[in-house]
Chain A
Amino acid sequence: MKENVVIIGGGVAGMEAARQLLFLGYNPIVVEQQDHLGGHVSQWNRLFPDMASAQDLVRHMGEEIVDANIFLETKVNFINRLREGYLVMLSNGVSVACRAILIASGFRLFDATRKEEYGYGVYDHVITNADLENWFNGNADSRIPAAPKSVGFVHCVGSRDLKAGNSQCSKVCCMTAVKQAIEMKEHFPDARIYCFYMDLRLFGKKYEDFYINAQQEHGVQFIRGRISEVGETLDGRLQVKAEDTLSGKPLRAQLDLLVLMAGMVCNPDAAELARMARLEVDSDGFLRSADNIAGIVGSNRPGIFYAGACTGTKTVPETLAEARSAALDIHRFIQGK
């Protein structure tokens, strides 16, 4: 009989860990709240740096784990400590005894309505990065004009923002903004595209190429200044205010569409899991790894492991690498090595 490993979260972290655990001879049990696997990635359109289809990735990963036990629309009700291992009670009535649990509960996208000064949900033409991906996926969005003349992207919405309770950099939004700016230019070649940033953090493989490409091929204008407030003109356009800090002057612009780069914040469900299993929460609100260099996938409890954005903001490849790493650590733990 194959040994059970409970994986909490069926996003790409949980899926990749399940794939590896199947390969290592275990019976992974994936618990997912939503009615589908793939988490945030399943809602995205194309992924940097190679513009690969997010849907294809999730579909392919799903095909790899058909032999796993997957419980959709299911939550963890409680986790009890046993003499050896844990008893995990699920909302569908199933209870699982296991020696190892993988938490892959991911992140939440920052709720952009909380930055009231940006007018999300108030003005007609303010959307988020996630809304734009949804539109790229072919879903209609009445907030996106048929032929916008100017489009603005606001970096760091709910990231690096102490007032929003999230002082951390969300890491992927700069790159996402550059990617989406290029994609918008491809949709609307005549539009002017502006990115309003505080610092551009394009750290990953090929990210800088995107930046150069956005400047050179697409004429995206990068303005170093954080938008302080958004208003609406009488004819329904958006009026934004920023300081053009490089010229040292206050700047105004009228836009037809404003895209807010909502950042990653810790998933409140992870805090609930932490309470159930007595896990430590880090100062940034994410789960605290055993060690932020050598033990990112480890927790403070034996047999409980982490993968992906439950411990901090991660890119997709980082998340997948952690999932593989966690699967191997779980294998070693169960083997007693």
Chain B
Amino acid sequence: MTDFGFTLSRSSALDLTKADTRLYERLCSLSPDARTCMGCGSCSATCTAGPYNGMSLRKVILGLQRGQDVRPMLKGCMLCGKCTMVCPRGINTRQLILNLCRIYD
């Protein structure tokens, strides 16, 4: 093939049609309240670890809905449970994270 001296970058666009949401569905079967997240960011705002290692439960749930690998973020969670106290939808966030860890195991 002729080398034209440039390459194409991979698109960073999310493709909802191709997104693999099986992990998200499995999580929802264990933690049905995951579906009630409205992305307000209270969990991430109050997270003690997030500012230092990038953990954000809001992004974890969103990432799963978009079929992304969220394990690097999940590793940052220290299971302190502060997010559970602030969630306006009353999601049992700590249990949700534990369930997700079980699924990844």
Is B41 in contact with A226, judged by CB distance below 8 angstroms?
yes
Is A225 in contact with B46, judged by CB distance below 8 angstroms?
no
Interface residues of B in 10-66 (CB under 8 A from A): 38-47, 50-51, 56, 58-59
Is B50 in contact with A228, judged by CB distance below 8 angstroms?
no
A224 to B88, CA, bound (A): 15
In-complex Cβ contact of A248 among B38, B59, B85 (8 A):
B59
A200 to B38, CA, bound (A): 13
Is B45 in contact with A227, judged by CB distance below 8 angstroms?
yes
A225 to B58, CA, bound (A): 11
Tell me which residues across on chain B come within 8 A of A161, comparing CB atoms: 88
Task: Determine if A76 is an interface residue (Cβ-Cβ < 8 Å).
Answer: no
Is B90 in contact with A225, judged by CB distance below 8 angstroms?
no
Number of interface residues of A (CB under 8 A): 23
Q: Mark A153-177, 1 if CB is under 8 A from B, else 0.
A: 0001000111110000000000000
Tell me which residues across on chain B come within 8 A of A242, comparing CB atoms: 41-42, 45
In-complex Cβ contact of B41 among A156, A160, A229, A243 (8 A):
A243
In-complex Cβ contact of A243 among B38, B45, B88, B90 (8 A):
B45
Tell me which residues across on chain B come within 8 A of A331, comparing CB atoms: none
Tell me which residues across on chain A come within 8 A of B51, comparing CB atoms: 250
Task: Determine if A201 is an interface residue (Cβ-Cβ < 8 Å).
Answer: no
Is B90 in contact with A245, judged by CB distance below 8 angstroms?
no
B54 → A minimal CB distance (Å) = 9
Task: Determine if A276 is an interface residue (Cβ-Cβ < 8 Å).
Answer: no
> Given A225-B40, A227-B45, A250-B50, is A245 in contact with B88 using a C-beta cutoff of 8 Å?
no
Residues of A bordering B, CB below 8 Å: 117, 156, 160-164, 198-199, 224-229, 241-245, 248, 250-251
For the complex with contacts A228-B43, A248-B59, 19 further pairs of A-B residues with Cβ separation under 8 Å are A117-B86, A160-B88, A161-B88, A225-B40, A225-B42, A226-B41, A227-B42, A227-B45, A228-B45, A229-B86, A241-B46, A242-B41, A244-B41, A245-B40, A245-B41, A245-B44, A250-B44, A250-B50, A251-B45
12 example contacts (A-B, Cβ-Cβ < 8 A) are as follows A117-B85, A161-B88, A162-B89, A164-B88, A226-B40, A226-B45, A227-B42, A228-B41, A228-B43, A229-B86, A245-B58, A250-B50
